[in-house]
Structure 1
């Protein structure tokens, strides 16, 4: 193992999630003190320390969430890149510094119990004292510590980790080494300790200083410029009193300028102030009202259920970077998600969720503010179609080349697989794509050539029809589960005359009791799965995926493909898919965009294009998920 520099790694680095046990004694101290009959929360410093620790966690987390609300911040972003998986992983333990400072504060309370126990709620002289100490002690101390960390000897072992994050975000504050954070803790703690020991300390001053300190660090690392430029034009002195996100971004990228904590005054004094800082700040502010670069491709997604609505970068960034599954910590967020659903149902419009770059082209994911169950309410269909139509027209106005519809957004009963919008707006420049051709191709390429019989549910749907026709041409006997003889006959007549015998209508699941290859296009219950013989493999193109009920059978994932390796800025997983993997309908839109095809892909699938789309996907570096596991 390579040697690490002294104090560069965290003492609890190997603890994983169990690092929060370090706060156990603090929690225990609070609980114990509550059991004392004469306990007073107002004078209980253990309680105050626990409270401020929790507030700090939430401040950094929610400010980061704000920065990832792209529909609010996209035109004010300084670095026009997205946070990728690599940065998220580096910053996974961003909250180490809060744990460290809570432990140090606990030690200080134990060392000076009398000084802290008798602090009043407010002390005016304390405000003056702590401001003076910050300006005259913390600011210059941080400046020189920060500047030394950029020296040839200290930068690589102690500070390069922080600058390895491409896009600054509030939690990037915690992407530091142990020694670096000890130095920052000293900068934060000296004014608090000095103010308290001087006799001018107060609970409000200490709470306020810590939270303002944290807020200003979040503000500077946010990558979102929210300061109006007129303040600096009318009052030039503010240029030296308060830094801005654009001021810090210059340091983060160029590193040899703008070392200050919050006050550029010290950069000006020691001649390290970048004179372009305010030019950049003004430019970003003035450009905020202008339209940003139009994406080449948009994937129009939707929410599946209540808890999966929390699987978004602007809710919990780390959670969104992993494949979705229900987790215990989501329970306390469920009421908020329910209220948000009601608000979205009543007022919300389509919003930007995430973006990435591929082959120099900008790809974005927009979301329709509707939940999965709403798509099956008859009275909601008109409103949902209105949202989808508005998104298509907005994309057309922006100059988007291709917009691809997610599973329920192209429901046949809802809008005919997108046909409704193309017919209503014949002059659309944006190409509307349901992506089902590639979905069919993915499923068909998963079925081994040795398979001679397939049981197909959802057999008369767009995908079911195409899969049945393709397989029957391949000489596979397809048991098509459908009660509609008319729809079955229409599909059968589409097949070549010599292949029609391969299409067989069945009306019950019992008909598949000897068939070991099931293609599921309509949700089936565990009871219906019982008819499958042992060793059956369930391919599926149904959302949500069926329950893996049978232990003696195998279950395929939803049709999906891995994006090419040169994709940039991808930092969230698409529903239950792994990193870099998207649903096949999403990938179908990507291929449509990369190929520059000019036709709409709506309505019924063209069976003859299945192989064409598949070969194009492979040519552009997309990989079927089934091949990744081999």
Structure 2
């Protein structure tokens, strides 16, 4: 750390000041400063020449201890982790360093910067040049005069008041890496089966994150978006599928966390709260109806998205098809889809007798003839749930199109058939700050 505080911080400070000279800034460093409102990913957005110079600086401590025989594998990985952690911290655009830390350790303010400290560099451009340690800004008089004021104001800032809140939850243990502090490349791909490098190499971090989420009992904000004049937020409950599906006691705690999140959204002035994934399961809480009954004076509107999901599924069925099979347990979405298809004159095949009787009651008398009870697998369009097993899929004829209407996609066993994605829609252009993919693509 002495090698970092000495040559690395010193050389970086003067390199950084040089990069703000008009000649180098216009040709190189302006690319990094195009992000005035920074995000963690901003920390690694640099032109190639800058990246090489930073790597050379960061190699100074590692090469030195290697040549002197005083280093270790732990120290190498520890130093790299320190660089990544501090780099992301400075660009997270959210002040999270408590005031008490600097009160107890006053000298820490010279060797540790804060998110608000570096944020001023991205807004003022000519101040706060230091890498991670503000010491050199103090020495050479380039510390912004408003640093302490902005830091105090950032700590006192009230939370945003969203118009719409989408309440979801973690799914598998690896889903933690799909958050902003995870891996952009991993989050840009659909979450399917675990890759070996995520399953084994990241196992200690995965288990540690699961322990942290277990002790954290409140929903947290994972994403903030804007759509025209609306402010939208995505909140995640720190629990996994296994807690909701398999543990009775955990379910009770989980329901309490959902109700607390709904109450918090109402306190913050949200007009609509949408329930995502298992938060709106029919078997769990009757698509949110349970929460409305328990809180009859709720002003925030609860939405489960069933109607929109049904519309997307209907739109996924190719035109001209007159036969469709529903191969899944009855649900709100499947019922909507079946009734709509019968109204269109499409023959809908149901394999379960109880589901068939229930759907006949929902259909208008003039459309009930389009609903048939049959275990036939000859239909080329199958509407399926996430529990579709291999034994059922092998019965489908070659070229069958599987269209899921479930929250999670079914496993793909057939290579001679086609699988659609779970119900989803493209985001409009004026839906801003969409996470994950845009941070990785050119």
Partners of 1:274 and 1:343 in 2: CA distance: 36
Residue aligned with 2:226, SS: strand
- Name which structure has the greater RCO, CA cutoff 8 Å, separation 6+: 1
Partners of 2:336 and 2:302 in 1: CA distance: 19
Indicate the residue corresponding to 2:309 in structure 1. 439
Can you give the 5+ residue segments of structure 1 that lack an aligned partner in the other structure? 1-51, 53-126, 581-630
Deviates more, 1:239-248 or 1:563-572: 239-248
Partners of 1:407 and 1:285 in 2: CA distance: 33
Can you give the 5+ residue segments of structure 2 that lack an aligned partner in the other structure? none
Indicate the residue corresponding to 2:356 in structure 1. 488
- Give yes or no for contact 2:328–2:388 (8 Å, CA) kept in 1: no
1:87-98 superposed matches below 5 A:
none
Indicate the residue corresponding to 2:180 in structure 1. 313
Partners of 1:248 and 1:421 in 2: CA distance: 43
Aligned residue-pair number? 433
Quickly say closer, same or farther: Cα 1:476–1:175, change in 2 above 3 A: closer
Residue aligned with 1:161, SS: helix
Quickly say closer, same or farther: Cα 1:275–1:529, change in 2 above 3 A: same
What do the CA deviations read for 1:526-545 (whole angstroms, capped 9, x no partner)? 22122222222111112432
Whether 1:451 aligns to 2:321 is yes
Which of 250, 256, 272 in structure 1 is aligned with 2:126? 256
Partners of 2:277 and 2:82 in 1: CA distance: 46
Whether 1:557 aligns to 2:421 is yes
Residue aligned with 2:161, SS: coil
CA displacement at 1:553 relative to structure 2: 1.9
Normalization by structure 2: what TM-score? 0.82
1:148-297 superposed matches below 5 A:
148-168=18-38, 172-181=42-51, 183-184=53-54, 214=83, 220-227=90-97, 243-261=113-131, 267=137, 272-287=142-157, 291-297=158-164
- Give yes or no for contact 1:139–1:260 (8 Å, CA) kept in 2: yes
Quickly say closer, same or farther: Cα 1:493–1:218, change in 2 above 3 A: closer
Partners of 1:335 and 1:385 in 2: CA distance: 29
1:276-425 superposed matches below 5 A:
276-287=146-157, 291-325=158-192, 326-332=194-200, 333-334=202-203, 337=206, 341=210, 344=213, 348-377=217-246, 379-380=248-249, 381-425=251-295
Quickly say closer, same or farther: Cα 1:195–1:318, change in 2 above 3 A: closer
- Give yes or no for contact 1:460–1:482 (8 Å, CA) kept in 2: no
Quickly say closer, same or farther: Cα 1:306–1:454, change in 2 above 3 A: same
Indicate the residue corresponding to 1:539 in structure 2. 403
- Give yes or no for contact 2:184–2:439 (8 Å, CA) kept in 1: no
Deviates more, 1:310-319 or 1:337-346: 337-346
Indicate the residue corresponding to 2:334 in structure 1. 464
What do the CA deviations read for 1:465-498 (whole angstroms, capped 9, x no partner)? 11111111111111122231xx533431332222
Quickly say closer, same or farther: Cα 1:362–1:550, change in 2 above 3 A: same
Aligned-residue Cα RMSD (Å) equals 4.0
Q: For the pair shown, which has the larger CA radius of gyration, 1 or 2?
A: 1
Partners of 2:104 and 2:385 in 1: CA distance: 64
Partners of 1:254 and 1:172 in 2: CA distance: 17
Partners of 2:147 and 2:207 in 1: CA distance: 43
Indicate the residue corresponding to 1:520 in structure 2. 384
- Give yes or no for contact 2:41–2:439 (8 Å, CA) kept in 1: no
CA displacement at 1:522 relative to structure 2: 5.8
- Give yes or no for contact 1:456–1:479 (8 Å, CA) kept in 2: yes
Indicate the residue corresponding to 1:587 in structure 2. none
Deviates more, 1:404-413 or 1:252-261: 252-261
- Give yes or no for contact 1:142–1:260 (8 Å, CA) kept in 2: yes
Normalization by structure 1: what TM-score? 0.59
Quickly say closer, same or farther: Cα 1:232–1:543, change in 2 above 3 A: closer
